[in-house]
Amino acid sequence: MPRAFLLINDPLVAEGMRASIDAVPGLKTVGWATTIEQARAQLPALGADLVLADLQLADGCVAGLVEELATSGRYGSPKTLLTTLSLDDPQLLAVLARGADGYFVQGQSSRMLIATIEQVLAGGAEMAPAIARQVKAHFDASAWTGYEPLDENNPRHPDRVERQVLQWTCDGFLPHEIARDLRISTREVAQRMRTLYRKLHLDRRTASPSLQML
């Protein structure tokens, strides 16, 4: 049974999320913290499969913890789902580039929260056009900065299908429309979006000057 840990500032928001998750057969919450240090202390013993985390906590931005969750092995291998009040939050892409698996915009229904959690647990992700344009700008930049040209054989760069998914997402096409035109499943579209976030993280860790400061 997938287990979710909440790293959420607001107790009322956390309680609402906890109730929504625990009401779903096959999902359960295993803990809640309001600070990064509390999460670091609790998570190693919990075996969480998912950490649902605010971008900003009382003791700082969650970016460092997200990268620890993605790379250290100390906490097992939980996926990280960020919660944000707005897609315009400048920290959102930065934390996705540190290894987060996706995001959820607060204020949406509990049904949407559960759907997003299940999608992330299945290896997929959402990507709004505003986020896609930022992701595309990064990969486009690597083709002219002189650092390294885009290359499908480079594991840090999008392949042809990923580039098409990214472009059509930038253009405002919905996942089911992209799936139809590429003749793939909507699940694969979501998985390709998650792969693009993973490549941002890989790019940041290995070399890209445009992401080193994120």
Residue with tokens 């013993």: 45
Number of domains the chain contains = 2
pLDDT in tens, the chain (214 residues): 899 999 999 999 999 999 999 999 999 999 999 999 999 999 999 999 999 999 999 999 999 999 999 999 899 999 999 999 999 998 999 999 999 999 999 999 999 999 999 999 999 999 999 999 999 998 887 654 445 556 666 666 788 899 999 999 999 999 999 999 999 999 999 999 999 999 988 876 555 444 444 4
CATH number for the domain harbouring residue 87: 3.40.50.2300
Please report the pLDDT score of residue 203 as a whole number.
Answer: 76
Q: Six-digit token pair at 58?
A: 């009382």
Is 21 in the same domain as 102?
yes
Is 13 in the same domain as 102?
yes
Please report the pLDDT score of residue 202 as a whole number.
Answer: 81
Is 116 in the same domain as 150?
no
Domain extent at residue 96: 3-121
Q: Six-digit token pair at 208?
A: 């890209």
Domain end among 86, 121, 156:
121
Domain end among 78, 93, 121:
121
Is residue 84 within 8 A of residue 126, CB to CB? The reply is: no
On the 0-12 / 13-18 / 19+ scale of CB atoms within 10 A, 107 is exposed
Domain end among 98, 121, 144:
121
Is 83 in the same domain as 168?
no
The whole-angstrom distance between residue 41's C-alpha and the CA centroid of its chain comes to 23
Please report the pLDDT score of residue 57 as a whole number.
Answer: 96
Is residue 9 within 8 A of residue 34, CB to CB? The reply is: yes
Please report the pLDDT score of residue 142 as a whole number.
Answer: 67
Is 147 in the same domain as 208?
yes
Question: What is the C-alpha to C-alpha distance for residues 137 and 133, in angstroms, rounded to an integer?
Answer: 6
Residue 49: name the closest of 123, 99, 121, 98 by CA: 121
Side-chain-side CA neighbours of residue 69 (13 Å): 32
Is 112 in the same domain as 155?
no
